[in-house]
Amino acid sequence: MTKSAPYAELLKVPLETVFVGREIVTLDVIDSTNTYALKHGKEGMVIVADRQTAGRGRLGRTWHSAPGLGLWFTVVFEGMWKGLSFAAALAVRDALADRCELRIKWPNDVLFGEKKLCGILIELRNDLTVLGIGLNVHHTPEDFPPELRDKAGSLESEVGGTWDRCKILRDVLTHLDGKVMLIRKSGVEAVRAEWAAACNLIGRRIRSGPHVGTVVDIDSHGALLLDTSSGTQTIPTGEITYLDGG
Ligand code: BTN
């Protein structure tokens, strides 16, 4: 493993963060930055790779991580942390807010319009929590496997213009540090409330598997509380369908 040229710029100027990016590991290629982090991670470490050969998504899916196209990185936390997935989605949205209006889609994707640009995977092992973020940057539609072309997009394909992965990463890490500090100081509620508002689900009528009802709240794990004809159901994750047309 060698230092990755695409991210050499990242290391030139220190980040102005307290926690996130205390140490930065830049790699050309790795199986998965999350796997590396689970093996070698230390508090505050960021691992970023130009290419992942076995990038992982949620629900055991593959995360396509071709070289030169996206930002594939992981941030390491010691112990169990609540609220990191909220912090991550808000950090990505806010870091790019001066150039595009991204939206957060439950359970935790970041979209532009209807296209998913960013996914978040949190894993926990041996008292380490690792927060993996994949953000599609330079992809053309043809860069995605055919079965993903309807759903996935990149900043360049959807928003347009030119994008610098180093700058995006610095901005996301800076915003993430702010959210992490907020969780440390005030607890998870501050970011949960902001994230829940951004998901825009409270009061919506939805279907999730066999459950149909109205979303009354989102708990501190990000689960939906659904008011149904048979009482309140907790929906931890999964696909939802809107039934109220919005
Ligand atoms: C999802 O399914 O939406 C989550 C995708 C998470 C992908 C990122 S890329 C960096 C990190 N390393 C991985 O193997 N996965 C995460």
pLDDT of residue 3: 46
- List pLDDT tens digits, range 170-225: 999 999 999 999 999 999 999 999 999 999 999 999 999 999 999 999 999 999 99
Alpha carbon of 30 to ligand 1 centroid (Å): 13
CB 179 within 8 A of CB 90: yes
pLDDT at 4 exceeding the cut of 60 = no
245 pLDDT tier (thresholds 50, 70, 90): confident
8 pLDDT tier (thresholds 50, 70, 90): confident
Alpha carbon of 35 to ligand 1 centroid (Å): 11
Domain spanning 5-197: CATH superfamily: Bira Bifunctional Protein; Domain 2 (3.30.930.10)
Ligand 1: nearest atom to the Cα of 119? 3
Strand bridging mode 45-52 / 23-30: parallel
pLDDT of residue 2: 40
Range(s) for CATH 3.30.930.10 in the chain? 5-197
Percent of the chain residues past pLDDT 70, beyond the cut = 98
Q: Which residues pair with 116 in a beta bridge?
A: 111, 152
CB 68 within 8 A of CB 138: yes
197: tokens are 């508002």
The residue to mutate among 4, 29, 30, 34, having the most atoms of ligand 1 within 8 angstroms of its beta carbon, is: 34
- For residue 62, how many C-alpha atoms fall within 13 Å in the half-sphere facing its CB? 11
7 pLDDT tier (thresholds 50, 70, 90): confident
Q: Is the peptide bond before 107 cis (omega within 30 degrees of 0)?
A: yes
The residue to mutate among 32, 45, 121, having the most atoms of ligand 1 within 8 angstroms of its beta carbon, is: 121
CATH architecture observed for domain 202-242: Roll (2.30)
Alpha carbon of 169 to ligand 1 centroid (Å): 15
Alpha carbon of 52 to ligand 1 centroid (Å): 10
Range(s) for CATH 2.30.30.100 in the chain? 202-242
CB of residue 211 inside a 6 A radius of ligand 1? no
